Structure 1
Amino acid sequence: MRKFDIRNIKIRQVSVDELNDKMLLANLYLTQALTLIIGIVWVLLQRRNPLNFFAVPSTYDFVLWGAGLALLVLLFDLGISRFVPEEATDDGGVNERLFRMRPVWHIAVISLVVAICEEILFRGAIQFAIGPYWTSILFAAIHVRYLRHWIPTGMVFAISYGLGFIMDYTGTLLAPIVAHFLVDFIMGCIIRFRREEA
């Protein structure tokens, strides 16, 4: 029986093309789990209850704000894609690989998991500590696949700032969760069905 030797572990950067579908999904769900854990621990260290994030307000204005921001983002993104070359908005093929062959129910699950985990950390914990501007800079920085091009980096920053604004305005984390989910889900479906038509 061979002994496990930690010195033999080699770490190297891989491109998305080198990952099979199972590894891509494992990477996605692992990073989201870490995001959620960090967010919950940070909120608890702020002496706040993360379960309060899911208290539904007495009015449903937050749904309108979330859907409105999502519509604005989608219209802007579709407008940009008409006038800007595809290379200027390239994310390294991550979204393409993630959504192109995925069933719609799984696109919905991925979108919901990402929306909840990232919003708990960024709007729930970090924005509470440092405000929407610096939170948006961090949010853009963790979306590292977009950093090679200024247009998607600027869009991620603006979307993040919008998510922070609607949370502050509505007083509930549910508003940015709705917006984040709708943007990811609709864009995922566009990628999925655009490839199916092609």
Structure 2
Amino acid sequence: MKKFDIRKIRFKKVTIDQIDDRLLLINLYATQAITFIIGFIWILFQHRNPFLLFKLPEGASFILWGAGLAALVIVVDLLISRFVPDEVSDDGGVNDRIFRSRPVWHIVVMSFVIAVCEETLFRGAIQHNIGPYWTSILFATIHVRYLRHWIPTGLVFSISYALGWIYTETGTLWAPIIAHFLIDMIMGLLIRFRREQ
């Protein structure tokens, strides 16, 4: 039997253009599944019931919190994209590749999956331990494709902090989930239809 030598492992840098569409989607859904599982287990280790996080609260004010934050973020993002050169807010073409040729239903599904999985981990689990500030630093760091430029990094940090704030204010995970979902979906649809024109 051949002996395994760890020193012979080589890593090759891959750009977004070298990944085919199928592999891109597999990567997206796999990372979201891992994110959700880690968040779920983390909540269990906190001796909390993860299912209670998804209980719908009475009243509909949490929807207004989520929709209001989403509207604010989209307006700010559109203003930034209007006045700031593209190269300053470049994410390496990842968002363009993810959304540009997707059907509308798939953009909606992807946005919902991403919102639920990431908010479960970041707001539901991590923020409970370290608070919204450090959670937002971690959130911005994990969105590594934005770290090359300070404007998108600052925007991701600010959005994360705002998501943490509305979670604290409303007491329900559904408020940041709605905001995250609407932000991703609307920005995804803008990319999709802008590319079509």
Map Cα deviations across residues 28-58 of structure 1 (whole Å, 9 max, x no partner): 1111111011101100000011111111111
| Unaligned stretches of 5+ residues in structure 2 | none
CA distance in 2, matches of 1:4, 1:130: 44
Aligned match of 2:162: 162
Determine whether 1:74 maps to 2:77: no
Letter in 2 for 1:145: R
Q: 1:54 to 1:83 in 2, by over 3 A?
A: same
Kindly indicate whether residue 106 of structure 2 is the aligned counterpart of residue 106 of structure 1.
yes
Aligned to 2:184: 184
Per-residue deviation, 1:10: 4.0
> What SS does the corresponding residue of 2:112 show, helix, strand or coil?
helix
Instruction: Name 2:150's counterpart in structure 1.
Output: 150
What are structure 1's unaligned runs of at least 5 residues?
none
Whole-angstrom distance in 2 between the partners of 1:5 and 1:184: 43
Aligned mates of 2:9, 2:48 — CA distance in 1: 39
Report how many aligned residue pairs link the two structures.
196
- Alpha-carbon deviation of 1:12? 2.1
1: distance between equivalents of 2:11 and 2:109?
A: 30
* Amino acid paired to 1:53: L
Listed as ranges, the matches of 1:1-198 within 5 Å are: 10-197=10-197
Following the alignment from structure 1 to structure 2, what is the Cα–Cα distance between the partners of residues 6 and 172? 49
How far is the alpha carbon of 1:13 from its aligned partner? 2.4
Question: 2: CA distance between counterparts of 1:114 and 1:9?
Answer: 32
Change (3 A) 1:55 1:85: same
State the shift of 1:4 in Å: 11
Give the letter aligned to residue 152 of structure 2. Answer: P
| Aligned-partner Cα distance in 1 for 2:93–2:36 | 25
Which letter maps to 2:86? Answer: E
Q: TM-score, normalised by structure 1?
A: 0.95
> Which residue type is aligned with residue 134 of structure 2?
W
Q: Equivalents in 2 of 1:173, 1:97: separation in Å? A: 29
Q: CA deviation at 1:72?
A: 0.1
Letter aligned with residue 74 of structure 1? I
Residue 115 of structure 1 deviates from its aligned partner by 0.2
**What secondary structure sits across from 1:91 in the alignment?**
coil
Aligned partners of 1:125, 1:77: CA distance in 2, in Å?
27
Q: CA RMSD, aligned part only? A: 1.6
CA distance in 2, matches of 1:149, 1:71: 24
